[in-house]
Amino acid sequence: MPQATDVEATVRALLEAAGISASDDELAKFVEMYPALREGADRLWHDEWRYEEPALQFTPQPPPTPEG
């Protein structure tokens, strides 16, 4: 698990990159939440899925026209 200072630096960098300012209380909450959030996001990645489509592709078709 990353050190607290590493987590804080990461959170600060992410907020800065997104252009989000946070109060000290908000920053503390983000730092507290980040390890669990990162762990959850990491669980979504599987190397064997690297070249798979992220979702089913849907190619819309126009509605059928009445034959006239």
- Domain range spanning residue 23? 4-45
Please indicate, yes or no, if residue 41 is contained in any of the structural domains: yes
Instruction: Note the pLDDT tens digit of each residue in 19-42.
Output: 999 999 999 999 999 999 999 998
Asked whether 15 and 22 are in contact (CB, 8 A), the reply is: yes
| Inside any domain, residue 24 | yes
- Whether 18 maps to a domain, the answer reads yes
What pLDDT is recorded for position 64? 81
Q: Are 34 and 7 in contact (CB under 8 A)?
A: yes
Higher per-residue pLDDT: 57 or 29:
29
3-state secondary structure of 19: coil
* Residue 62 belongs to a domain: no
Provide the number of structural domains found in the chain: 1
